[in-house]
Structure 1
Amino acid sequence: MKYPVFTFILVFTVFFGCKKSNRFTVKTDDIDINIQFIRFDKELGKEDTTATAAKVDTFQNKYPRFFNLYSSQIIKTGVPTGKNFEKYLNRYLTDTVYYQVYDTVEHKFSSTQKQDLIIRNGFKRYNYFFPERAIPDIYYMISGFNESVVVAKDILAISLEDYLGVNHPFYQWLSLYEYVRINMYPEKIPTDALWGWLKSEFPYRAEQQTLLNKMIYEGKIMFVLEQLLPDEPQNRILSYSEPQLKWCETNEKAMWSYIIEYKHLFSKEPLVINKYTDPAPFTQFFGNESSPRAGSYIGYKIVSAFMKNNKEVTLKQLLDINDGADILGKSGYKP
């Protein structure tokens, strides 16, 4: 089997990405949205960590939908109206690990003001481009190292304990792989939050399950996220480290040639599709030193070329196109 030539260069410089097209520039000062940022982690753990009937009633009245979601689906202590709910919630709140996590989060995130501002401006741009779509309230929480971002109707919840820093002792204690930890730092919260919301609002609906369609879908989400958060570094938008992004940039042509040569582009094999687009330490087709999700990166580059060459297409129209071949054919993509 022939293999393409890939270059492994680690350059430790900061990549800010290209300035976005003027047609996607939005003056956020002129946009007013109704969005709340709720430190649910602090409210649940303040004063005492016991779940009394009065405390449960308070949360049921104040945050009825989120408290039910948090209890039943995130920390799995049951529904607030269920039998023995206080007992199960107390068991969670009085666990020694919860104490440690709560204290650590309280110290690390005494304020989320920086994250709040970036998220708010991102949703202002979202409101500009998608005025018919709802804006969620943002809940910060401690989930017991479950999902980093949870999305429900009008709710976007973020687990702060998942953003303590890539080398935090908690993550080493949990034996998390490096490719997982690489995005677990405070500055990653806004991009993950908006990424989660976009994925929920615009789920994957391809006409056919092919590698190309999955690549293009991932690329569309990345491209839209880039417009919503134009001041974020490109590697953060794409969920790469700086060296990983550099590797993709250096090897883009070789990766594309490989995909075409081995006829993977229209493959319907789930294993092939997953190897190109799922989180992993590397992209298996390209060797152990490659960057992960190389197919998603190529999808992002195709979508970027498509939007550059089709300036009449809006972000909403882009997300409504479910045929990846249509986007590729009109993109003029040539790495």
Structure 2
Amino acid sequence: MKTKSPIFLFFIIFLFFSCNFNKRTDIDVSDVKIKDVKIKRYGKDLFEINPDNIKNELKRLAKNYKYFLDADLDDTLNIIQIHEYITDPKLIEIYNKSIKKYPELNNLEDDLTLAFKYYKYYFPDKKIPEVFTYISGLQYEYPVQYFDNILIIALDLYLGKDYIPYRQIGLPAYKIKRMEEEYIENDCMKEIAEVNFLQQEPKRTFLDEIIKKGKVLYFLDAVIPQTPDTVKIGFTSNQLQWCSDNEANIWKFLINNNILFSADYQVIKKFTLDGPFTAAFSKESPARIGNWLGWQIVRAYMNKNKDVTLNELMLETDAQKILTKSKYKPKK
């Protein structure tokens, strides 16, 4: 009889734990009925109008894009501003690059349709948003916006890490690496989670903040289960591995330095805001280590408390309760 290799045994163990973790979010949504997502391309329709007949063209577009064209289109100043926008050479160049990168959006429509099926499964009372795309002019603060059940995607903020203008406007490399097509669906669902569930949550302590971030990441586990963890949190595979390898050290550092219950925002932001790495650790570490740790705590909480629904998790504001009932123990 052949002896199984250590590598084979490791694979079996890894597969077992992976399946154990995923089974709460391994849901069949084939019977969930929603309308297929059809994205309305405001940016494309706007840049393709005839500038010489702009007033009439805008009034025609306004019927389908009232959220974008709600200004008085009989006001000359408004018309002039839009005319300057669609005839600006730099914006035309950005639009042309966007339309070349995304001549059609069938794959994104399919991805969002599936994500919204999961969303509807967990939150049957929630409405599925209308989805629009536009050209932001590289206004990088808002790649995705969600309000009034409208989801708006700035396609020019997903042109790929090699798009030179991103560097020319001073965006850091750690941000540019996430301006890829594979992040669009993730960013859409993340924005929905943050707007629907987290806007009213109090900001008190480090623990409150990382649990809040962890809930959003677990929400992504549930509604886009096929998406890699690297995309959900925006880490490289090496950074994600670093976190896993150093989980016990991270936890020990936070406890020994009295950070877990700190209400000092200057301390909190060092472990929760974006950046190249976490200064308290090595340059191999990612930024937002606290968010990753909160994710692990929330995952443990949901695995230990099978009766808690995703909706109940998202509405739970007692971070201490989540930590206690998670029985979280960092991997050594």
TM-score by length of 2: 0.88
User: Which one-letter code corresponds to 1:121 in the other structure?
Assistant: L
Given that 1:206 and 1:323 are in contact with CA atoms closer than 8 Å, whether structure 2 keeps it comes out as no
User: Which one-letter code corresponds to 2:266 in the other structure?
Assistant: L
Classify 1:82/1:154 alpha carbon distance in 2 versus 1 (closer, same or farther; 3 Å).
Answer: farther
Inter-partner Cα distance in structure 2 for 1:18 and 1:49: 56
Of the three residues 284, 289, 313, the one matched with 2:284 is: 289
1:68-107 map, 5 Å: 68=70, 80=73, 82-107=75-100
Inter-partner Cα distance in structure 2 for 1:334 and 1:268: 23
Inter-partner Cα distance in structure 2 for 1:330 and 1:206: 20
Inter-partner Cα distance in structure 2 for 1:277 and 1:51: 49
Of the three residues 214, 217, 220, the one matched with 1:219 is: 214
User: Which one-letter code corresponds to 1:184 in the other structure?
Assistant: M
Asked if 1:145 is matched to 2:138, the reply is yes
User: Which one-letter code corresponds to 1:279 in the other structure?
Assistant: D
Of the three residues 238, 246, 253, the one matched with 1:251 is: 246
Give the Å deviation of 1:207: 5.1
Deviations 1:198-256 (A, max 9, x none): 11111244456100010000000000111101111111011212222122111111111
Given that 1:166 and 1:183 are in contact with CA atoms closer than 8 Å, whether structure 2 keeps it comes out as yes
Asked if 1:160 is matched to 2:161, the reply is no
Inter-partner Cα distance in structure 2 for 1:145 and 1:18: 39
Give the Å deviation of 1:257: 0.6
2:99 partner SS:
helix
Q: Which has the higher contact order (CA 8 A, sep 6+)?
A: 1
User: Which one-letter code corresponds to 1:32 in the other structure?
Assistant: K
Match of 1:114 in 2: 107
Classify 1:82/1:201 alpha carbon distance in 2 versus 1 (closer, same or farther; 3 Å).
Answer: farther
Inter-partner Cα distance in structure 2 for 1:219 and 1:136: 24
Give the Å deviation of 1:120: 1.2
Give the Å deviation of 1:168: 1.3
Asked if 1:229 is matched to 2:224, the reply is yes
Q: Please say which of residues 112-121 and 44-53 is displaced more in the overlay.
A: 44-53
Structure 2 spans left out of the alignment, 5+ residues:
1-14
Q: Please say which of residues 16-25 and 193-202 is displaced more in the overlay.
A: 16-25
Classify 1:53/1:210 alpha carbon distance in 2 versus 1 (closer, same or farther; 3 Å).
Answer: same
User: Which one-letter code corresponds to 1:25 in the other structure?
Assistant: D
Match of 2:194 in 1: 199
Inter-partner Cα distance in structure 2 for 1:126 and 1:172: 35
Classify 1:165/1:209 alpha carbon distance in 2 versus 1 (closer, same or farther; 3 Å).
Answer: same
Sequence identity (%): 29
Rg larger in 1 or in 2? 2
Asked if 1:331 is matched to 2:332, the reply is no
Give the Å deviation of 1:39: 1.5
Classify 1:59/1:80 alpha carbon distance in 2 versus 1 (closer, same or farther; 3 Å).
Answer: same
Given that 1:222 and 1:238 are in contact with CA atoms closer than 8 Å, whether structure 2 keeps it comes out as yes
Given that 1:60 and 1:80 are in contact with CA atoms closer than 8 Å, whether structure 2 keeps it comes out as no
Classify 1:50/1:334 alpha carbon distance in 2 versus 1 (closer, same or farther; 3 Å).
Answer: farther
2:69 partner SS:
helix
RMSD: 2.0
Q: Please say which of residues 20-29 and 149-158 is displaced more in the overlay.
A: 20-29
| Number of equivalenced pairs | 311
Given that 2:271 and 2:289 are in contact with CA atoms closer than 8 Å, whether structure 1 keeps it comes out as yes
